[in-house]
Protein backbone atom coordinates (compact mmCIF):
# COMPACT_ATOMS: atom_id res chain seq x y z
CA UNK A 1 0.00 0.00 0.00
CA UNK A 2 1.36 3.39 -0.93
CA UNK A 3 1.45 6.49 1.20
CA UNK A 4 -1.58 8.04 -0.46
CA UNK A 5 -3.78 4.95 -0.55
CA UNK A 6 -5.20 4.27 2.89
CA UNK A 7 -7.30 1.24 3.60
CA UNK A 8 -10.60 1.99 5.34
CA UNK A 9 -10.74 0.83 8.97
CA UNK A 10 -13.97 0.05 10.80
CA UNK A 11 -13.61 -0.25 14.55
CA UNK A 12 -16.23 -2.61 15.94
CA UNK A 13 -17.63 -1.49 19.29
CA UNK A 14 -20.82 -1.71 21.30
CA UNK A 15 -23.39 -1.12 18.57
CA UNK A 16 -25.33 -4.03 17.08
CA UNK A 17 -23.48 -6.04 14.42
CA UNK A 18 -25.87 -4.96 11.65
CA UNK A 19 -24.64 -1.35 12.02
CA UNK A 20 -21.09 -2.43 11.18
CA UNK A 21 -22.35 -4.64 8.36
CA UNK A 22 -24.08 -1.59 6.88
CA UNK A 23 -20.86 0.42 7.21
CA UNK A 24 -18.89 -2.32 5.42
CA UNK A 25 -21.42 -2.54 2.59
CA UNK A 26 -21.27 1.25 2.20
CA UNK A 27 -17.46 1.16 1.97
CA UNK A 28 -17.55 -1.57 -0.67
CA UNK A 29 -20.26 0.27 -2.65
CA UNK A 30 -17.95 3.31 -2.82
CA UNK A 31 -15.53 1.19 -4.83
CA UNK A 32 -13.07 0.03 -2.18
CA UNK A 33 -11.66 -3.44 -2.74
CA UNK A 34 -10.67 -4.17 0.87
CA UNK A 35 -11.16 -2.93 4.41
CA UNK A 36 -9.96 -3.68 7.91
CA UNK A 37 -12.28 -4.59 10.78
CA UNK A 38 -10.75 -4.09 14.22
CA UNK A 39 -12.05 -4.91 17.72
CA UNK A 40 -10.69 -5.17 21.25
CA UNK A 41 -11.68 -7.12 24.34
CA UNK A 42 -15.30 -8.21 24.66
CA UNK A 43 -16.10 -6.89 21.18
CA UNK A 44 -13.97 -9.48 19.37
CA UNK A 45 -16.93 -11.86 19.01
CA UNK A 46 -19.03 -9.01 17.60
CA UNK A 47 -16.33 -8.42 14.96
CA UNK A 48 -16.41 -12.08 13.94
CA UNK A 49 -20.22 -11.91 13.77
CA UNK A 50 -19.97 -8.92 11.40
CA UNK A 51 -17.72 -10.85 9.01
CA UNK A 52 -19.99 -13.91 9.12
CA UNK A 53 -23.10 -11.81 8.45
CA UNK A 54 -21.39 -10.12 5.51
CA UNK A 55 -20.30 -13.44 3.98
CA UNK A 56 -23.57 -15.29 4.48
CA UNK A 57 -26.15 -12.61 3.72
CA UNK A 58 -24.78 -9.55 1.95
CA UNK A 59 -21.57 -10.06 -0.04
CA UNK A 60 -21.18 -13.72 -0.96
CA UNK A 61 -17.91 -13.26 -2.88
CA UNK A 62 -16.19 -11.80 0.19
CA UNK A 63 -12.88 -13.33 1.20
CA UNK A 64 -10.82 -13.03 4.35
CA UNK A 65 -7.35 -11.90 3.35
CA UNK A 66 -5.68 -11.75 6.76
CA UNK A 67 -6.42 -12.17 10.46
CA UNK A 68 -4.16 -10.68 13.10
CA UNK A 69 -4.62 -11.32 16.82
CA UNK A 70 -2.58 -9.90 19.63
CA UNK A 71 -2.46 -8.02 22.89
CA UNK A 72 -2.18 -4.30 23.54
CA UNK A 73 -0.60 -3.02 26.73
CA UNK A 74 -2.31 0.01 28.27
CA UNK A 75 -0.85 1.88 31.21
CA UNK A 76 -3.35 3.21 33.72
CA UNK A 77 -1.76 5.26 36.51
CA UNK A 78 0.71 2.75 37.96
CA UNK A 79 -0.79 -0.46 36.52
CA UNK A 80 -0.64 -2.15 33.15
CA UNK A 81 -3.68 -3.68 31.44
CA UNK A 82 -3.43 -6.28 28.72
CA UNK A 83 -6.27 -6.15 26.19
CA UNK A 84 -6.68 -8.65 23.37
CA UNK A 85 -7.47 -7.42 19.87
CA UNK A 86 -8.34 -8.82 16.46
CA UNK A 87 -7.91 -7.31 13.01
CA UNK A 88 -9.69 -8.96 10.08
CA UNK A 89 -8.81 -7.75 6.58
CA UNK A 90 -11.57 -8.58 4.09
CA UNK A 91 -11.54 -8.18 0.32
CA UNK A 92 -14.16 -8.28 -2.35
Residues near 86 by Cβ (< 8 Å), separated by ≥ 6?
Answer: 38, 39, 44, 47, 48, 67, 68, 69
Q: Is residue 31, in this structure, part of any structural domain at all?
A: yes
Task: Divide the 92 residues of the chain into consecutive groups of 10 and give the mean pLDDT of each group.
Answer: 72 96 96 96 97 94 96 92 97 93
Q: Is residue 64, in this structure, part of any structural domain at all?
A: yes
What's the domain range around 34? Answer: 9-91
Say what the pLDDT of residue 80 is: 93
Structurally, the chain folds into a number of domains equal to 1
pTM of the model: 0.88
Say what the pLDDT of residue 2 is: 47
Q: Is residue 75, in this structure, part of any structural domain at all?
A: yes
Q: Is residue 1, in this structure, part of any structural domain at all?
A: no
* CATH number for the domain that contains residue 76: 3.30.110.20
Say what the pLDDT of residue 79 is: 92
Say what the pLDDT of residue 29 is: 95
Amino acid sequence: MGLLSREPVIIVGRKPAIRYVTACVTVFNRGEKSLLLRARGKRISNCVDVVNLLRKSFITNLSIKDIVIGTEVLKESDKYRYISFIEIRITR
